[in-house]
Amino acid sequence: MVLERLQQMASHITGQAVQHHPSDPLSTEEIAAAVAIVRQEYSDLFYNAVTLWEPRKMEMMRWLASPKTAPRPHRVADVVAIGRGSKVYDGLVDLDEGKIVRWELTEGVQPLITMEDLQIVESVVRKDPKVIEQCGLVGIPPQDMHKVYCDPWTIGYDERFGSSVRLQQALMYYRPHPDDSQYTYPLDFCPIFNADTQEIIHIDVPKVRRPLNTAPPINYHADAVAKDTGFRNDLKPINITQPEGVSFTVDGRTLSWQNWNVHVGFNYREGIVLSNITFNDKGNVRPVFWRMSLAEMVVPYGNPEHPHQRKHAFDLGEYGGGYMTNSLALGCDCKGAIHYMDAAFVNRAGEPQVIKNAICIHEEDAGILFKHTDFRDDSCTVTRARKLVVSHVFTAANYEYCVYWIFHQDGTIQLEIKLTGILNTYSLNPGESAAPWGTEVYPGVNAHNHQHLFCLRLDPNVDGQANTVFQVDAVQGEGAVGSEENFYGNAFYAKKTKMATMSTGMSDYDGSTSRTWEMANTNKMNPYSKKPVSYKLVSREVPSLLPKDGSLVWKRAGFARHAVHVTKYSDDQLHPAGRHVPQTSGEPSQGIPAWIAADPEGNLDNTDVVLWHTFGLTHFPSPEDYPVMPAEPMTVLLRPRNFFTQNPALDVPPSFSSTPSQVAAGKTGIKAIVDNLSRLAFGGKQEKGGSNDCGCK
Ligand SMILES: *[C@@H]1O[C@H](CO)[C@@H](O)[C@H](O)[C@H]1NC(C)=O
Ligand SMILES: *[C@@H]1O[C@H](CO)[C@@H](O)[C@H](O)[C@H]1NC(C)=O
Ligand SMILES: *[C@@H]1O[C@H](CO)[C@@H](O)[C@H](O)[C@H]1NC(C)=O
Ligand SMILES: [Cu+2]
């Protein structure tokens, strides 16, 4: 029968034919199989997401411990589907068994808005008579409606419309010419779109009207720049060559490089998911993190005028960082020898779709790893660093977010995010001041103040699952100047505060104490320092959430209330603002605040914990950000502390090394090389190829 055929199809996929790693994203075949199994029982559905339901941790651990006797975790699809009348279904499909194991109608929620959902809105907006009328009022005649564009956003939450109808708000723009940036021509009104009926149900019109901007276009693409200022002509090529290939290996989706081992997953929502991260410490493979990902973000805007309070996009929970990911096929995004990975998703109709080259994996030179010169004799050792970068880039309407997960040779993991793209803009009357809630970045263009707050989910596995998180502050010795314990008043130390229970497991950033957080395994001491082995979260771009306590954003984005939350591990707690984020009122708050409220006394000491870190920046736009922003980087570091017994990168071959006795015996010191290299750079009298004699690699 059909069901048997489906079971065969599913077991063929997960059986010997293709043996997926349990953490691998669903393949196109698995997505198709999951949809086919659902269709056996339910028709007339749109598919919002079909993604890997990750194996339960205990089950996975058991299987890892004894792969021969313990059952291999099943491949399970997590399905979100939408039926007529905004009915939302959450389901699980066991692909090994070829059957639906959970199917629920979930009331009062709206799943995220997909690219396909977004693309419908513009055509509807252009035909709507009320929108045409509003366009006329700001100076756009009906025959020019093809020049009207919109960026559809989730509505966030609007108390007038609630959560039961699936809505989007259309941020309106105009393009004088199809190649002009629309962000120079924002329109002052905001239509609201009903996704069920595919019609405009309301238009928010401001009290003060603002006509269409009359400034000339300002554009960033090459044609425009060539015509305007022209290009700089003094750049010579920089070529990256890896003549012997790359230094990493990839087995399926497991990446090995410089003692690191990591599985690279991907999903529609978080984008890259790194799991089972281990470091080979001289033959001893030590677990470091079980899983890490960017789990959520919120971008609240700071203009109090209605309806701008609705602008606070949760780009991951409301749109999906994976769904919006760019295809890096052009090879412009990473330089060098690249390994790409594709990403597979479901579309609205239930068919699998592939984004080619969604993930880029490559190595980069990373400057000096360590160096020391003995000032008395010119002997020197300098070792250059290399880094491995796993990256993807996603476009959230106007903004680009470039996400780089970086592995270093010294055991450090770094998350770097670069912000680029275009500011969200609003109209301005001639002579009107954009201050204090925004900046006039170009004549007639108001870019509102906003924040970009990212939530990093870290599931530490520092030499095992039983971990404890400490807040670490640099503080003065308590004794007053002149006291016995601190006579000269110069004493200071690292004060550690254990984050012991769910209700107390939260903390804010404090730059004045150089605050960091340690994920420690208190069962294992470093033999030298007698301190627990740990990984330290070092993050210095940590603004507090500016929307006030009790505000709409504060209620909806509970994760952003503190820089760090620690929670007890639970398989189902992946989404810090809730599973379905669009149109949540925040009453009650979903995600982290709800988990804490459910278990306030939950123990966090020496157990399996998750650390949630909210970081980012507050963006006061300025003309330099326009018409496209130069990328602004932000960095978070995860550094081994008391984890190793010495610099773990000592065994990286040096670029140059000489001992005092070698220099005394006639070997080159560092100064000779410096001279030779500088002569070469400026093409002096030095003969070609001279640099090869200097001993630098
Ligand atoms: C450097 O790269 C450019 C552009 O890809 C190429 O045309 C050129 O031949 C390369 N030069 C060398 C020395 O490899
Ligand atoms: C995790 O990594 C270790 C070594 O790096 C490996 O032995 C183990 O099988 C991996 N587990 C999974 C689930 O990939
Ligand atoms: C540096 O260059 C000079 C002459 O250009 C040469 O005699 C000398 O051997 C070079 N030294 C090294 C260390 O390559
Ligand atoms: Cu910004």
| Domain-located, residue 648 | no
Please tell me the distance from the alpha carbon of residue 648 to that of residue 653, in angstroms, as a whole number: 12
| Domain-located, residue 243 | no
Per-residue pLDDT band at 336 (split at 50, 70, 90): confident
β-partners of residue 292 are: 274, 458
464 with 334, same domain: the answer is: yes
187 with 283, same domain: the answer is: no
Q: Whose CA is nearest to atom 9 of ligand 1?
A: 239
Please tell me the distance from the alpha carbon of residue 73 to that of residue 172, in angstroms, as a whole number: 48
The CATH number of residue 84's host domain is 3.10.450.40
Strands 271-281 and 76-83: unpaired
Between the two ends of the chain, the Cα-to-Cα distance in Å is 66
Q: Which H or E run includes 13? A: helix 2-14
Instruction: Decide if pLDDT at 264 tops 50.
Output: yes
The answer to whether the CB of 369 falls within 8 A of the CB of 385 is yes
Boundaries of domain holding 679: 668-697
For residues 491-500, give the mean pLDDT: 98
For residues 309-325, give the mean pLDDT: 97
Neighbours of 284 (CB within 10 A): 9
pLDDT digits (tens, 9 = 90+) for 210-262: 999 999 999 999 999 999 999 999 999 888 889 999 999 999 999 999 999 99
Average model confidence (pLDDT) across the chain:
93
296 with 343, same domain: the answer is: yes
For residues 632-652, give the mean pLDDT: 98
For residues 56-60, give the mean pLDDT: 96
Amino acid at 373: T
Per-residue pLDDT band at 675 (split at 50, 70, 90): low
The ligand 1 atom at the shortest distance from the C-alpha of residue 241 is 14
| Domain-located, residue 380 | yes
Q: Residue 132's pLDDT is what?
A: 98
The ligand 2 atom at the shortest distance from the C-alpha of residue 21 is 14
Cα 423 to ligand 4 centre (Å): 6
Q: Residue 84's pLDDT is what?
A: 84
pLDDT digits (tens, 9 = 90+) for 500-542: 999 999 999 999 999 999 999 999 999 999 999 999 999 999 9
CA 52 to chain centre: 19
What is the edge-to-edge ordering of all strands in the sheet holding 99-106? 46-52, 76-83, 87-94, 99-106
126 with 98, same domain: the answer is: no
β-partners of residue 359 are: 341
197 with 270, same domain: the answer is: no
45 with 138, same domain: the answer is: no
Q: Residue 1's pLDDT is what?
A: 46
Handedness of CA 257, 261, 265, 269 (dihedral sign): negative
Q: Whose CA is nearest to atom 6 of ligand 1?
A: 239
| Domain-located, residue 438 | no
Q: Whose CA is nearest to atom 5 of ligand 3?
A: 686
In this structure, which ligand is nearest to the CA of 672? 3
Q: Whose CA is nearest to atom 9 of ligand 3?
A: 693
Q: Which residue has the tokens 């780009």?
A: 315
pLDDT digits (tens, 9 = 90+) for 420-441: 999 999 999 999 999 999 999 9
Does the C-beta of 239 come closer than 6 Å to ligand 1?
Answer: yes
Instruction: Decide if pLDDT at 652 tops 80.
Output: yes
| Domain-located, residue 650 | no
399 is an active site residue: yes
The CATH number of residue 261's host domain is 2.70.98.20
Amino acid at 527: P
Please tell me the distance from the alpha carbon of residue 475 to that of residue 494, in angstroms, as a whole number: 6
Catalytic residue among 323, 399, 401, 626: 399
**Mutation to probe ligand 3, out of 656, 663, 693 (largest number of atoms < 8 A from CB):** 693
Q: Residue 692's pLDDT is what?
A: 37
Please tell me the distance from the alpha carbon of residue 515 to that of residue 132, in angstroms, as a whole number: 54
| Domain-located, residue 646 | no
Q: Residue 689's pLDDT is what?
A: 42
121 with 88, same domain: the answer is: no
Please tell me the distance from the alpha carbon of residue 587 to that of residue 108, in angstroms, as a whole number: 12
Q: Which residues of 54-70 are buried (b: 16+ CB within 10 A; e: fewer)?
A: bbebebbeebeeeeeee
Residue where a domain stops, chosen among 208, 225, 242: 225
CA angle, 458 then 461 then 462, to 5°: 110
Instruction: Decide if pLDDT at 284 tops 80.
Output: yes
Please tell me the distance from the alpha carbon of residue 148 to that of residue 151, in angstroms, as a whole number: 11
Does the C-beta of 237 come closer than 6 Å to ligand 1?
Answer: yes
pLDDT digits (tens, 9 = 90+) for 379-408: 989 999 999 999 999 999 999 999 999 999
Tokens, residue 76:
């399970």
218 with 138, same domain: the answer is: yes
Q: Please give the share of the chain, as a percent, with pLDDT higher than 90.
A: 86
Q: Is 41 helix (H, G, I), strand (E, B) or coil?
A: helix
CA–CA distances in Å: residue 50 to residues 108, 352, 475: 20, 9, 49
Using only C-alpha atoms, what is the Rg of the chain?
28
What pTM, to 2 d.p., does this model score?
0.94
694 with 637, same domain: the answer is: no
Please tell me the distance from the alpha carbon of residue 3 to that of residue 9, in angstroms, as a whole number: 10
Q: Residue 678's pLDDT is what?
A: 55
Length of the chain: 697
Residue where a domain stops, chosen among 225, 243, 264: 225
Per-residue pLDDT band at 319 (split at 50, 70, 90): very high
201 with 274, same domain: the answer is: no
Residue where a domain stops, chosen among 40, 71, 104: 104
319 is an active site residue: no
The answer to whether the CB of 618 falls within 8 A of the CB of 509 is no
Neighbours of 303 (CB within 10 A): 18
| Domain-located, residue 430 | no
CA–CA distances in Å: residue 644 to residues 462, 465, 506, 520, 639: 12, 18, 28, 13, 11
467 with 358, same domain: the answer is: yes
577 with 544, same domain: the answer is: yes
CA–CA distances in Å: residue 326 to residues 109, 112, 323, 392, 396: 28, 18, 9, 7, 10
Residue 515, phi then psi, degrees to nearest 5:
-60, 135
Instruction: Decide if pLDDT at 667 tops 90.
Output: no
Does the C-beta of 667 come closer than 6 Å to ligand 3?
Answer: no
The answer to whether the CB of 610 falls within 8 A of the CB of 462 is no
Domains of the chain: total = 4
Give 317's DSSP letter.
I
Cα 650 to ligand 2 centre (Å): 25
Q: Whose CA is nearest to atom 12 of ligand 1?
A: 239
| Domain-located, residue 601 | yes
Q: Residue 686's pLDDT is what?
A: 45
The answer to whether the CB of 260 falls within 8 A of the CB of 407 is yes
Q: Residue 454's pLDDT is what?
A: 98
Cα 527 to ligand 1 centre (Å): 51
